[in-house]
Every structure is written in C-alpha cells, then in structure tokens.
A and B are shown apart, each in its own frame.
Chain A
C-alpha cells in the first residue's frame, strides 16, 4: 500500500514539474533569448570569425 502512495507522489511531482515548464513566462524567456541573441555583443562573434578567417587566408594574388 505504501508503494501506491509513493507512486502517486512521484506522479504528482512529475506532473507539477511539467506544468511548471509550461508557465506563461516561457514565452517571455524565449523572446528574451531571441532578442539577446540579436544584440550587437552577440553578433560580434560572427564578425570576429569572419575577420580571423579572412586574415588567415594566404594571399594568392588573384584578386578574387
């Protein structure tokens, strides 16, 4: 009988955990992440990769 109570508690905890993940603020969180990923600071990385790649390319004199 104790196992039944334990299983019920586990089910309730898991259900509560799932419901917590579906709170309305999940939209706010993902939107915040979206906006943060578009910030100038976040974009600096791509520019740095591009500059590093361009500088490391051997100059072949073809001008292309």
Chain B
C-alpha cells in the first residue's frame, strides 16, 4: 500500500514527509551526473560533497537555481530517485504534494508535476512554500488574524501574509542564502585577490557571517587560490568585512519583506505589531538577521521552532488532510 508523500523541493535541501511516518528523508538538493553517459552517480549528501571537486566528466549540480528550474531533465531524475528511495514503485502509486517557490512559472509547475507523475505518483499537487511554512510553523492561519511568514531559502526569499486559510499578500525575490555565499565569494576575489569555492563561502558565512554586529566578533581564516600566482593562499576575514560583503543581498531581502508589509490590508497590518512576523528557512539562521529585519521594519520577528522543517511539515499536514485542503493547491485556485 502506497503511503502518500509531501516533498519540500528546496534549492538547498530536499525533505520528504511520509503520511503517518513523518520526515523520512532530509538531504542537500544536489545530483551528480556523468556528462558523457548521462548516468546519475550520486544524490544528496554524497553529491553535495562533490561540488567543486569533480573531474571534468562529472557535474554536481542543484536542480533548482534561484528558485527556478535551469534544466528540466535534472529535477525529473531527482524526483524519480527520491520516490524510488522512499519505496515508490510502479505498483505503489501515492499522492504527492510538492512545495515549490511561489515565483515558479507555469512551465516549471507543469514540469514538476509531470515529473512526479512519470516517477510513479498517482496525483501530484503543488503548494507555495510560504503557505506550507505557515502551516508547519503552527501559525493560527485558520483565524481572521494577520499572520506573516518570511521564508528565506537557498535561492528565494518569500514573504506572505496569510489569514483565514489563504494568502492575502505575497512578495518573492529570487535572492537567498546562496546569493549571500556568492557575495562573499565575490568580495574575497575582489578585495583579497583569491578565488574560493561556494562551499568555502558557505562555511565563512556560517562561521562569522552576520547581518548585524554580534557579541562574538572572531575572525576566520579562508583558503583559496591566488588569482595572480595561481598558488594556494590563506587570508583572514573579519565579521565586519563579511557584513559589508553581504549587505546588498540582505538589503534586497529586507526590501521584499517591506514590500509585503506594504501590501497587507490595514486590518491585518495592525496584527503584525502584536503577533510579529515568523521566520523560517535556513537563511533565517544567519546571525543578527531577525534583529536587523525587526529594526528596519519596526515589527517584531520571531524564529519558528523548526525553521528547516516547517515547510515540509506544512506540506505533510496537507497530505494528511488531502481532501479538505485540496483547494489550497496551486492548480486548484487557477
């Protein structure tokens, strides 16, 4: 008997919730493919470790970039492998709810649902990430109250105002924590003359990255390739430098939050001052980011209890109450 599934197909991580079982898979959204034969060599954590370290004939890629599908074949293969790994076969055909960025195009939506159906799903439905996040974060979205959720993912940042079971205002930008990493990479290249990989940039962000000054201002050693000599070199980065490097990226994320607040009807806007805005997604874990958003918007910001799992938990709830929540799926409202 097939167990229905909810999938958070994130730019950074993929999580799978199985009906009645909870989260059964949580790993990086990376797939390693042999360029010559087209075979999939690794997925998830194993493929993530290959990023930037592969020989010429192997390519380790993320199926989504900036919340968009760059190569339609890759997500399809990834979804097929995911379903196989959680026990879906041609004889067990589960219903699948997939969380996708709200900015996804019609063509991309169709590509994802078709991929899931071809991979063995009896029915595939899509739900916007902020909606799933609000359900997963346990916000009282069934009540006539303004609930605001900010989901900062790897490739997109989405803010949504939700009330009475539906999205009232939504704002999404294709900027996320990978863009923060890219800003660090660009800064180190420009100011220190060394090239670093995206994994190193992510490590720098996690070690000393912050959106506002913190109590712990320790420095970090960064190793890369000198652009002039081509030889390995080490430089020391300060948290202040990293804040400067990522400032423009953070500003565009915060500006999108402000635009979403501005779209909210006045009746709901007053609720935010009391209830605050809830942050989910890995990007929200950047030190000082909630405080900076709070300072710039004058609205309290609270972190969700499970920022990384909130989206898939919300989608999991939709799969547990599939019939009652059908109207929330992206196709149902068009």
A49 touches B20 (CB 8 A): yes
Specify the main secondary structure of chain A where it touches its partner.
helix
Residue-wise interface mask of A (16-53) relative to B, using a CB-CB cutoff of 8 A (1 in contact, 0 not)? 00000000000000110111111110110111011011
Q: Which of B22, B24, B313 contacts A52 (CB 8 A)?
A: B22
Interface residue? A59 (CB, 8 A) = no
Q: What is the minimal beta-carbon distance from A44 to any residue of chain B, in angstroms?
A: 9
Interface range for B: 20 to 34
A43 touches B138 (CB 8 A): yes
Interface residue? B317 (CB, 8 A) = yes
Q: Which of B45, B142, B309, B323 contacts A35 (CB 8 A)?
A: B142
B327 touches A34 (CB 8 A): yes
Q: Which residue of A lies closest to B306 (CB)?
A: A50
Interface residue? B321 (CB, 8 A) = yes
A36 touches B138 (CB 8 A): no
Residues in chain A near residue B323, CB distance under 8 A: 33
Q: Which of B20, B23, B142, B309 contacts A38 (CB 8 A)?
A: B142
Q: Which of A35, A47, A53, A64 contacts B165 (CB 8 A)?
A: A35
Q: What is the minimal beta-carbon distance from B146 to any residue of chain A, in angstroms?
A: 15
Q: Which of B142, B164, B165, B313 contacts A50 (CB 8 A)?
A: B313
A-B contact count (CB 8 A): 56
Interface range for A: 20 to 34
B135 touches A53 (CB 8 A): no
Q: Which residue of A lies closest to B134 (CB)?
A: A38
* A32–B199 CA distance with the chains assembled, in angstroms: 47
* A41–B164 CA distance with the chains assembled, in angstroms: 16
* A50–B137 CA distance with the chains assembled, in angstroms: 13
B328 touches A34 (CB 8 A): yes
B23 touches A47 (CB 8 A): no
Q: Which of B45, B142, B165, B317 contacts A46 (CB 8 A)?
A: B317
* A6–B325 CA distance with the chains assembled, in angstroms: 41
Q: Which residue of A lies closest to B323 (CB)?
A: A33
* A64–B325 CA distance with the chains assembled, in angstroms: 33
* A-B contact sample (8 more), CB < 8 A, given A36-B324, A38-B141: A34-B327, A34-B328, A35-B142, A38-B135, A39-B142, A43-B317, A49-B320, A64-B45
